[in-house]
């Protein structure tokens, strides 16, 4: 948990103490090396609080929600809805009923594209995205505009990975129906000026969707302060289980949107030839959900709020500063992509010239160092930099400077093996 050194001083995150909450960090790999987990941007590790919340559902009150009137069913419903309240608090949503539970940010974006998009995007309408989007915030819009004969436009980025706001301003003259962008780039680490981007979009008459998958776990997010219309994120990126996630949207938008999936629990009443749909958010939650996963995401939200998101952000900023300085100093020839450390989240994508990232990751694994290698679901962004792939180290609340040192040592060994 964060510590306060002196009364009134900002809380600091004690990562060494936090690590005790993550059982997997006590494991070793097949070579007997301790785990150095630097792939949190792909999926985060899970603390005991989350593991125990999931286990409690499965062992003590495993039943369906919203239907049963016996004791354990009522307990399951209560825990599930408490998780919704916790998730809403995490992003300062004004109303927990505006939080729709989904499997991940990808499903949330698809929900908006299918439900809001197919009702509101027509022939000749424009959607504005950025060059740094994850495929999850690109492919659904490609499908939509192809189906509706609409158009996609893209905000380009600078060589250091920042959006070109002057081009964005020009694109807004096209009067787009929607602007969708990532809060934090999962490859470059760029933290976008989301409030400014949102204000500019609204002034042009557009709605705004923000992909917060790489933001919610790492820095304070206030959807009311940002002013967005849709905000999406995944539970497994924020210390929660896989198969959990959320869409937040303004209530009036959710009320006007038709259901995304149809079946049980999303209905108020059903007749042979017509149905009446449930209230939001249940209108968008058809069938039995992954109950334990969403309960786990609620536990993860409480855990993060207990640490303090300001403390989490400060910790990861310090790690980014240390990582970029250490890698540039200790790994000859390394190429690092994206903005300087103060303008990025805890993500560092890099390459060793002449060595494929897959080889880098495989050799690092021998020493227990886990990094991502590939295009990180951002193929157009890699094309922008003329890259086939990159290696990526990413941090979280349990990450330590010594793990960055281990990465640097491992990368020097990779260079030695390849005689670079």
Catalytic annotation, residues = 377
Quick one: CA dihedral 189, 191, 192, 195, positive or negative? positive
- The three-state secondary structure class of 55 is helix
CB count in 10 Å sphere of residue 111: 23
Residue ranges of the alpha helices (H) in 70-193? 71-90, 105-112, 118-120, 139-148, 165-171
Cβ contacts of residue 199 below 8 Å, gap of 6+? 227
**Alpha-carbon gap, residue 223 to 140, rounded angstroms:** 23
Could you identify the residue written with the tokens 């300087």?
340
**Alpha-carbon gap, residue 277 to 282, rounded angstroms:** 9
Checking DSSP bridges between strand 335-337 and strand 347-351, what pairing results, if any? Answer: antiparallel
* DSSP type of residue 117: I
* CB of 346 closer than 8 Å to CB of 394: yes
Q: Does the N-terminal peptide bond of residue 372 adopt cis geometry, omega within 30 degrees of 0?
A: no
Cα–Cα distances in Å, from 32 out to 29, 35, 58, 367?
5, 9, 32, 8
Q: What is the DSSP string of 276-338?
A: EEPPTTGGG--S---HHHHHHHHHHHHHHHHH-HHHHHHHHHHHHHHHHHHHHHHSTT-EEES
The length of the chain in residues reads 420
* CB of 239 closer than 8 Å to CB of 50: yes
**Alpha-carbon gap, residue 150 to 143, rounded angstroms:** 10
* CB of 235 closer than 8 Å to CB of 296: yes
- The three-state secondary structure class of 233 is strand
**Alpha-carbon gap, residue 16 to 2, rounded angstroms:** 11
């Amino acid at each position: 948990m964060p510590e306060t050194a002196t009364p009134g001083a900002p809380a600091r995150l004690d990562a060494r103490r936090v690590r005790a909450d993550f059982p997997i960090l006590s494991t070793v790999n097949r070579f007997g090396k301790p785990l150095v987990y630097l792939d949190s941007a792909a999926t985060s590790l899970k603390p005991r609080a989350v593991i125990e919340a999931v286990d409690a559902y499965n062992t003590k009150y495993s039943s369906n929600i919203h239907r049963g009137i016996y004791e354990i069913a009522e307990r399951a419903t209560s825990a599930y809805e408490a998780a919704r309240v916790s998730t809403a608090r995490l992003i300062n949503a004004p109303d927990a009923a505006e939080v729709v539970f989904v499997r991940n940010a990808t499903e949330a974006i698809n929900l908006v594209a299918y439900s809001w998009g197919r009702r509101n995007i027509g022939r000749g309408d424009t959607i504005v995205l950025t060059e740094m989007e994850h495929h999850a915030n690109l492919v659904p819009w490609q499908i939509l505009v192809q189906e509706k004969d609409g158009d996609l436009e893209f905000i380009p980025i600078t060589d250091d990975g920042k959006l070109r706001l002057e081009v964005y301003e020009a694109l807004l003259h096209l009067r787009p129906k929607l602007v969708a962008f990532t809060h934090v780039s999962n490859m470059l680490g760029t933290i976008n000026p989301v409030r400014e981007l949102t204000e500019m979009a609204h002034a042009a008459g557009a709605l705004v969707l923000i992909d917060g998958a790489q933001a919610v776990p790492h820095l304070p997010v206030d959807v009311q302060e940002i002013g967005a219309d849709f905000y999406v994120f995944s539970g497994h990126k924020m210390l929660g289980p896989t198969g959990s996630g959320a869409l937040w949207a303004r209530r009036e938008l959710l009320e006007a949107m038709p259901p995304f999936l149809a079946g049980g629990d999303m209905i108020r009443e059903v007749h042979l030839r017509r149905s009446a749909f449930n209230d939001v958010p249940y209108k968008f939650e058809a069938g039995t959900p992954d109950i334990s996963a969403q309960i786990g995401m609620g536990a993860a939200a409480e855990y993060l709020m207990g640490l303090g998101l300001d403390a989490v952000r400060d910790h990861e900023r310090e790690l980014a500063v240390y990582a970029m300085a250490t890698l540039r100093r200790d790994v000859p020839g390394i190429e690092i992509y994206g903005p300087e450390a103060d303008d990025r989240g805890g993500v560092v994508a890099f390459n060793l010239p002449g060595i494929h990232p897959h080889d880098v990751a495989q050799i690092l694994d021998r020493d227990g160092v886990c990094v991502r290698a590939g295009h990180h679901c951002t193929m157009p962004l890699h094309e922008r930099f003329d890259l086939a792939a990159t290696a990526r180290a990413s941090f979280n609340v349990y990450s330590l400077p010594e793990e960055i040192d281990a990465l640097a040592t491992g990368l020097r060994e990779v260079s030695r093996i390849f005689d670079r």
